[in-house]
Structure 1
């Protein structure tokens, strides 16, 4: 499967446990960091205000990660993002973590496009056309 975006992350000491191995929860942080970088590469944002004043975001619907091999302090980890599913209301992407060609972990995250009302409540909505078009263009490998 070809990937659509490649992010890199150098493992910091604070991301590891006492054995110098990346703590599992950090892989979820790495996914989110790579997701934000991917959006920025297209000129898009994860959380912003539309011209009409509507505030939107992409809350997580589900996130999973399975671990294959440990990552260590100072490793440079490649995170390969692939768009798995895209609808007008949701986006599911996979994340393949590698170090020197070795698969470290496989993740998947589903997000929903939502608008925030003045009282802070979320409501699922269709994403703006420019978001859908840029993500559609990127989902064709």
Structure 2
């Protein structure tokens, strides 16, 4: 089983909102990371692995979010993740937030595979073979409908 896209459902909790009951902007980034982790779990993968002398995981190289409409307390949003690029040491995702079928935000994430050993220096590493074989680039959005 391989994956190029994934859908994640997330309810807005009160503690994540501002005084107006609107999801605080920083939480969109947390939601995108939750979606990425759920995507990896759906493939039987881990985003972070600790070893006795270090770790391997995915650091953020770039992350952005464009807000179109607010999410509010108790809203249940769907996050649609698409793998848009795969390189030797990184993955890029486009994440679309929807509420009741309407797009409310769009995010982009570049995740770089990194590791550190006993010395503590963090450096970029090639994607693990299991990630490279299971995570694939999604077709362009709308490409299926264009035929």
TM-score over 0.5 for the alignment?
yes
The answer for unaligned runs of 5 or more in structure 2 is 140-147
The answer for unaligned runs of 5 or more in structure 1 is none
Alignment of 1:56-135 (within 5 A): 56-135=56-135
Aligned partners of 1:127, 1:44: CA distance in 2, in Å? 12
Aligned partners of 1:23, 1:77: CA distance in 2, in Å? 14
TM-score, normalised to structure 1, is 0.90
Residue in 2 that maps onto 1:20? 21
SS of the residue corresponding to residue 58 of structure 1 reads strand
Aligned partners of 1:140, 1:81: CA distance in 2, in Å? 10
Aligned partners of 1:140, 1:61: CA distance in 2, in Å? 20
Runs of 4+ residues deviating >3 angstroms: none
User: How many residue pairs align between the two structures?
Assistant: 136
Instruction: Please provide the CA RMSD for this pair.
Output: 1.7
Deviation at 1:121? 1.4
TM-score, normalised to structure 2, is 0.87
SS of the residue corresponding to residue 66 of structure 2 reads strand
Aligned partners of 1:140, 1:63: CA distance in 2, in Å? 19
